[in-house]
Structure 1
Amino acid sequence: MNRSYSLHKIVEEQNSPFKVDEYSWFKFGDKQYAEKFATQLFDGFIAEHKDLVLSGQEIVILPSPYLSIPTASNFLCHFFKMKLNNYLFQHHKKACAESKIYRNQTYVTDYGNLDFEERVLLISNDTYYIDRNFIEGKLCIFVDDIKITGSHEHTVNRILNQYQVQGDFIFLYYAELINKDIHPRVENFYNYYAIKNVADIVEVINRSSFQFNTRIVKYILSFNQEQFNYVLDNISVEKRTDLFHLAISNNYHQITDYQNNINTIKTA
């Protein structure tokens, strides 16, 4: 069985059902909002799907696909899992397990400006791996932050079909674009709402609740030399080191557009 749940429904472009500044900070690595959104998402989800969660099926939770650097939705998934496990504990049920869809990303294009066909075409060149035997026959909860065109859900379903995985699948989203008259580029309006310049990036990185994710690593690596040097000069040595090791762990040093900045970190 395949179903979905979203907490917030986007029906008006100029009237967001959630706080857009908080969502933007979440997308750029502020984990306090990942925890806040996860709590809200869990409370809404369990109110509608309590019977499913307590049905006795083994539960596996999966964040959106990534290779080495977690996505923002991975942190949403982390805190959602904590809420879910606490709920299962209170009802004397077995804790959920966690799995992952591995993704070898091959592009630097800003995904948030694209429509459905463009998104599917862009990610069709990525390679994916899922542990079929681990999730087979279980209740699989796929957690993501936002559903705009459904291209990621389409891709995950394609992977499940490719690996011939059987089970119950439910896709969870903090928000979903319901009004299809709104162009998918609204996603980037949300993403960048609180991030207008390099100083905003530095301010977020220096928060105690910050942790690097895929979006901010790629964003920083795409800066020109002046912007990139500003970031390096205004964050700690520890965070510069984290940035370097995360970048190479995702093979970004193999992408021409990022090589100069990665080498700059290495020699700084």
Structure 2
Amino acid sequence: MYSDFSRHHIDDPGQIPFDAAAYSKFKFGDGDIARAFGQELGRHFVELHGDALLAEENIVFVPSPYHAIPTASNALSLFFRDEVNRFLFRHQRKSLLQSKIHRYKTYTVDYGNLDFEERMRLISSDTYHLDKHFLEGRMVLFIDDIKITGSHEQIIRQQLEREEIKGRFVFVYYAQLMNKAIPPNFENYLNYFAVKDRSDLVTIINEDNFIMNTRIIKYILKSDPVDLMAFIHALREERLPEMVNYAIGNNYHLMEDYQHNLMLITNHINYGN
């Protein structure tokens, strides 16, 4: 059985029902905003579906798919989990179980600029892995930040059906685009609402609350080499090794679009010497 839930509905691009600037900063790693959004989503979900949670013995929480580098929505998901767990604690119920959708393929194009068909063609070639035996027969909460075309949800549903996994599956979003007349590239309008240039990004990354994610790493690795060197010199020293470790873990060193800049960064920090 499938259902979905979203905290905010977007019907008019001129009347966004949440702080668009905050959302943009969240997508580029602002941890304080990820916490605020995740807690808001968790509180609202509990308010409307608390009885359903209490009716279940075992509930599984699943962030959006990734391999080695978490997505921005993963940070929001963890704060959502903590909020729901506090509700379960107050009612002396088991905390959420946690699983992961392993994603073994990545790409360098900007997903937020694609329409539904382009998104489906791109992610249909991904290799996803779900833990069938862990999910079977349980209530499963798939958490993501925004639903624009529903392509990721469709891929996950197809995977569940292909593997014949039975359960109660709820797709939970912070926001959902309801008006299909709004083009899908509206997603990038939101993503870059408050991040217009390198200085905006550096400010976010150098904050103590920053949480590394795949969007940040892709953005920097696809920068013009001149801009990249400016990034390198502007960032806090500890950010670069963290970025390199994540990039290698995601096999970005094997992707032509990223190889040159990744080597420049590793040479700068003398990584591995």
TM-based fold match above 0.5 = yes
1:40 partner SS: helix
**Per-residue CA distance 1:22-59 (angstroms, 9 max, x = gap):** 00000000111111011111121112211110003300
Measure the CA separation in 2 of the matches of 1:42 and 1:242.
29
Measure the CA separation in 2 of the matches of 1:163 and 1:57.
23
Is the contact between residue 56 and residue 139 of structure 2 (CA under 8 Å) also seen in structure 1? no
Same amino acid, percent of matched pairs: 45
1:237 partner SS: coil
Match of residue 164 from structure 1: 164
Q: Does 1:109 align with 2:109?
A: yes
Match of residue 255 from structure 1: 255
Q: Cα distance, 1:115 vs. partner?
A: 1.2
What amino acid maps onto 2:202 in structure 1? V
Q: Cα distance, 1:236 vs. partner?
A: 2.2
Is the contact between residue 56 and residue 93 of structure 1 (CA under 8 Å) also seen in structure 2? no
Match of residue 128 from structure 1: 128
Match of residue 24 from structure 2: 24
Match of residue 227 from structure 1: 227
1:170 partner SS: strand
Tell which deviates more after alignment, 147-156 or 230-239: 230-239
Is the contact between residue 57 and residue 94 of structure 2 (CA under 8 Å) also seen in structure 1? no
What amino acid maps onto 1:103 in structure 2? R
1:188 partner SS: helix
Measure the CA separation in 2 of the matches of 1:151 and 1:128.
14
Measure the CA separation in 1 of the matches of 2:72 and 2:93.
28
Q: Cα distance, 1:13 vs. partner?
A: 1.1
Measure the CA separation in 1 of the matches of 2:82 and 2:16.
27
- What's the C-alpha RMSD, in Å, of the aligned pairs? 0.9
**Per-residue CA distance 1:204-231 (angstroms, 9 max, x = gap):** 1001110110111111110011111111
What amino acid maps onto 1:248 in structure 2? I
Measure the CA separation in 1 of the matches of 2:106 and 2:112.
16
Match of residue 86 from structure 2: 86
Measure the CA separation in 1 of the matches of 2:171 and 2:195.
28
TM-score, normalising length: structure 2: 0.96
**Per-residue CA distance 1:213-259 (angstroms, 9 max, x = gap):** 01111111100111111111011221111111111110011110100
Measure the CA separation in 2 of the matches of 1:56 and 1:15.
37
- Structure 2 stretches of 5 or more lacking a match? 269-273
Measure the CA separation in 1 of the matches of 2:214 and 2:145.
14
Match of residue 271 from structure 2: none
After TM superposition, the structure 1 = structure 2 runs for residues 230-249 of structure 1, keeping only pairs within 5 Å, are 230-249=230-249
Measure the CA separation in 2 of the matches of 1:96 and 1:150.
25
What amino acid maps onto 1:67 in structure 2? H
Measure the CA separation in 2 of the matches of 1:50 and 1:253.
45
What amino acid maps onto 2:188 in structure 1? N
1:9 partner SS: strand
What amino acid maps onto 1:141 in structure 2? L
Q: Cα distance, 1:112 vs. partner?
A: 0.4
Measure the CA separation in 2 of the matches of 1:162 and 1:102.
16
Tell which deviates more after alignment, 185-194 or 231-240: 231-240
Measure the CA separation in 1 of the matches of 2:266 and 2:38.
36
Is the contact between residue 39 and residue 79 of structure 2 (CA under 8 Å) also seen in structure 1? yes
Is the contact between residue 132 and residue 163 of structure 1 (CA under 8 Å) also seen in structure 2? yes
Match of residue 176 from structure 1: 176
1:173 partner SS: strand
2:238 partner SS: helix
- Structure 1 stretches of 5 or more lacking a match? none
Is the contact between residue 102 and residue 130 of structure 1 (CA under 8 Å) also seen in structure 2? yes
1:38 partner SS: helix
Q: Does 1:211 align with 2:216?
A: no
Q: Cα distance, 1:75 vs. partner?
A: 0.6
Give the length in aligned residue pairs. 268
Is the contact between residue 63 and residue 74 of structure 2 (CA under 8 Å) also seen in structure 1? yes
Measure the CA separation in 1 of the matches of 2:267 and 2:94.
49
